[in-house]
Structure 1
């Protein structure tokens, strides 16, 4: 498999980006247990107890699509689907019920018991989504016009257009350049 690309600037967006080129994916990190483990390691949340991972993959993909539909709608200036918001909130509520607060510098953060299981990973994703939904910056959400990946625009001028300039941005600029040259 190729290297994991993390361009979302938020865990929940990188989770939504575990599949590319919707609706027909060329790569899906949640298609097999090995890919899910690779992605989890890449985001710094390695699954320490992968028991049941193969059985959990359909649920992980459902959560991914709910997160995607919520933030894709918001990036497009539309309302987030209520059913998908409820799914994210249900996962978050389950996770909060199993979490404890631990000091993290001057603030606190949710922590779960070890070992990190697939459920804990999904609780982390849900916590990230709820944090982004409740604290923003939702006005900086974007969706790549080429691959449909989601991202938070952290640029100073708020003009980020692509998931990554090195992949989609370069391809798009090259396509436009050659289209003007052949006209």
Structure 2
């Protein structure tokens, strides 16, 4: 079944985190599932990312020429990024044993890419779309900047990684309209249930 790549699927605040979040309910063995289980979804993710990550990509489109050929590289970056950044959030520091696999996966994602990257054009200036594995590598490497770790969060509702870009760094949810409202609804239901129990 095709995934609906809506704006909510890009709540991570960075392309590499959005990719990490394609494993839904990560850590819950019974309910977890992988949106990239079908390689064709990797290409559809790239198309949606060109729209929903336009600010980060500075308008550069990303694409996948052959989803089956690049799936290994994409998944390697995704898994290494999730492991490094998830532990970084919980421990407040990046662990070298987790960083090494990310650097290797990113190097593999950038291998053979004839691009130049700069602060003004972090994803290059070529008019052609950038291959997704290269874009993921650039995004993941940019997240290693010291300022980003203090803004990285794990959503308490869905367990997704996200960057808190709010002014006072007080955001709780990856997406207030989805996870925030679900938590509010749960709290309301619990309060109401407790009230009914006391009235009984």
- Unmatched tracts of structure 2, length 5 or more: 51-60, 195-200
Structure 2 residue aligned with 1:32:
38
- Give the Å deviation of 1:115: 6.6
Superposition CA RMSD, Å: 2.7
**1:96–1:114 Cα change, 3 Å:** farther
Structure 1 residue aligned with 2:122:
109
CA contact (8 A) 1:48 1:115 kept: no
2:151 maps to 1:145: no
Structure 1 residue aligned with 2:74:
60
CA contact (8 A) 1:99 1:112 kept: no
Between 95-104 and 38-47, report the one with greater CA deviation.
95-104
**1:109–1:59 Cα change, 3 Å:** closer
2:48 maps to 1:42: yes
CA contact (8 A) 1:140 1:158 kept: yes
Q: Quote the Cα distance in structure 2 between the aligned partners of 1:56 and 1:102.
A: 21
Q: Quote the Cα distance in structure 2 between the aligned partners of 1:12 and 1:78.
A: 19
**1:108–1:46 Cα change, 3 Å:** closer
CA contact (8 A) 2:85 2:94 kept: yes
Q: Quote the Cα distance in structure 2 between the aligned partners of 1:108 and 1:14.
A: 21
Structure 1 residue aligned with 2:19:
15
Structure 1 residue aligned with 2:87:
73
Give the counterpart of 1:158 among 165, 169, 181.
169
Larger Rg: 2
CA contact (8 A) 2:122 2:138 kept: no
**1:180–1:165 Cα change, 3 Å:** same
- Give the Å deviation of 1:167: 1.4
2:115 maps to 1:100: yes
**1:46–1:98 Cα change, 3 Å:** closer
- Give the Å deviation of 1:108: 4.3
Q: How many positions carry a matched residue from both structures?
A: 177
TM-score where L is the length of structure 1: 0.81
**1:102–1:69 Cα change, 3 Å:** closer
**1:135–1:81 Cα change, 3 Å:** closer
Between 125-134 and 17-26, report the one with greater CA deviation.
17-26
Q: Quote the Cα distance in structure 2 between the aligned partners of 1:170 and 1:122.
A: 33
Q: Quote the Cα distance in structure 1 between the aligned partners of 2:125 and 2:98.
A: 24
Q: Quote the Cα distance in structure 1 between the aligned partners of 2:65 and 2:5.
A: 23
